[in-house]
């Protein structure tokens, strides 16, 4: 599914400031906004992964946490 929104700032992909959202800092950030609807997600970081849950679109996870 195409990403419509930036997972770091929640703006549309077209409006996202790439310099602010694709850099060394954000490479160390889990996603915070749902890529489909831009809702803020509930994110749990664990020692070797993360899960992020959108109230509408469900849960996504790092590769290490995918089942």
Q: Could you list the residues that contact other proteins (CB under 8 A)? A: 8-10, 24-25, 27-30, 32-33, 40-50
For other proteins, the closer CB: 1 or 47: 47
Rounded CA separation 48/7 (Å):
20
- At closest approach, how far in Å is the CB of 12 from other proteins? 16
Query: Toward other proteins, which CB reaches closer, 1 or 25?
Result: 25
- Find out whether 51 and 59 touch, Cβ atoms under 8 Å: yes
- As measured in angstroms, the least distance from the Cβ of 48 to other proteins is 5
The H-assigned helical ranges of the chain are 18-21
- Report the C-alpha gap between 63 and 31 in whole angstroms: 13
């Amino acid at each position: 599914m195409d990403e419509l929104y930036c997972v770091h700032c929640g703006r549309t992909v077209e409006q996202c400031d790439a310099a602010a959202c694709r850099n060394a800092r954000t490479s160390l950030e889990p996603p915070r906004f749902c890529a489909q609807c831009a809702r803020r997600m509930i994110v749990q970081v664990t020692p070797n992964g993360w899960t992020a849950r959108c109230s509408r679109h469900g849960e996504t996870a790092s590769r290490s946490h995918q089942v």
